[in-house]
Amino acid sequence: MKKSKQEMRVGSRGWQYSDWVGEFYPDDLPEDWRFSFYSNEFHSVLVPYEALAQCEVDDWVDWAEDTQKNFSFYVEIAGTASWNEVKPYLDALGKQLKGVIVVIEALNDLDSLASLIKHLKTRAVVSIRRLGNVVSEQDMQTLQTCYEVNECWDGDSEAPVWKYGEAAILLRDVDDENTPDKLRQLFEKGMEHAGKSDAIALFFTGSTPKINDMRTAITITDLLV
């Protein structure tokens, strides 16, 4: 296999999954300790946008302090959020913040979205995740060209060309085909399309990401680099 110039990162969208108790988390592990336990094995995480409403800024500070310096945080932000709302949370992660995903469900206010993206880019590379079919290919291309943002890839649709910044992001649902061969193909295709990106980040999503899928993906990245 060819050597990749990109760093490859693997993690999940969130870490508070009750089904992981017993399988991954020890039965007697306090809930507040789960992130520290998670970060000992997996060195990247995608923080769901729900965390802004459910957690205090001090919680985010604790997460950053509980990890090694090489740990990578990626954060989801709703496209309707305001910069003043999200700034304190992003600042809490400091240099460990490696990427922001703006989740777009509708394009109702392009000016506000443009302002949000402009501010977010002062903190980290910004990627777009489209939910549903409300954002057309033309609008997506406009966003990418005008605001220099990447698009997240699900691994099944046509691979985007990641032109900007530090990280190309793949999102795989728990119900997707995540066999070792499929994951290897995804990483190899991602390497071909990653352009100037320095890293490829794969996050498992869905109701309960599978720990074995995450471990398999890490093994594959070790073989590819």
What DSSP character marks residue 13?
A: B
118 contacts 87 by C-beta, under 8 angstroms: no
List strand residue ranges (DSSP E) for the chain, in order: 7-12, 44-47, 72-78, 97-104, 125-130, 150-151, 167-173, 199-205
In this prediction the pTM is 0.92
User: 59-98: buried (b, 16+ CB within 10 Å) or exposed (e) per residue?
Assistant: ebbbbbeebeeebbbbbbbbbbbebeebeebbebbeebbb
Q: What does the alpha-carbon distance between residue 50 and residue 75 come to, in Å, rounded to a whole number? A: 10
Q: What does the alpha-carbon distance between residue 152 and residue 103 come to, in Å, rounded to a whole number? A: 10
pLDDT higher for 87 or 5?
A: 87
Q: What does the alpha-carbon distance between residue 192 and residue 194 come to, in Å, rounded to a whole number? A: 6
What is the pLDDT, as a whole number, of residue 1? 39
170 contacts 152 by C-beta, under 8 angstroms: yes
Count Cα atoms within 13 angstroms, Cβ side, for 20. Answer: 21
- pLDDT surpasses 90 at 161: no
Q: What does the alpha-carbon distance between residue 180 and residue 178 come to, in Å, rounded to a whole number? A: 6
Q: Give the angle subtended at the CA of 46 by the CAs of 66 and 113, to the nearest 5°.
A: 125
- pLDDT surpasses 90 at 119: yes
Q: Write out pLDDT tens, residues 86-97.
A: 999 999 999 999
DSSP letters along 64-86, please?
HHTS-TT-EEEEEEETT--HHHH
* pLDDT confidence band for 139 (50 / 70 / 90): confident
* pLDDT confidence band for 2 (50 / 70 / 90): very low
Residues above pLDDT 90, as percent of the chain: 64
What is the pLDDT, as a whole number, of residue 6? 75
Q: Write out pLDDT tens, residues 26-47.
A: 999 999 999 999 999 999 999 9
Q: Write out pLDDT tens, residues 200-220.
A: 899 999 999 999 999 999 999
CB-neighbour burial class of residue 132 (10 A; exposed 0-12, middle 13-18, buried 19+): exposed
Count the neighbouring beta carbons within 10 Å of the beta carbon of residue 52.
20
Mean per-residue pLDDT, 2-12: 75
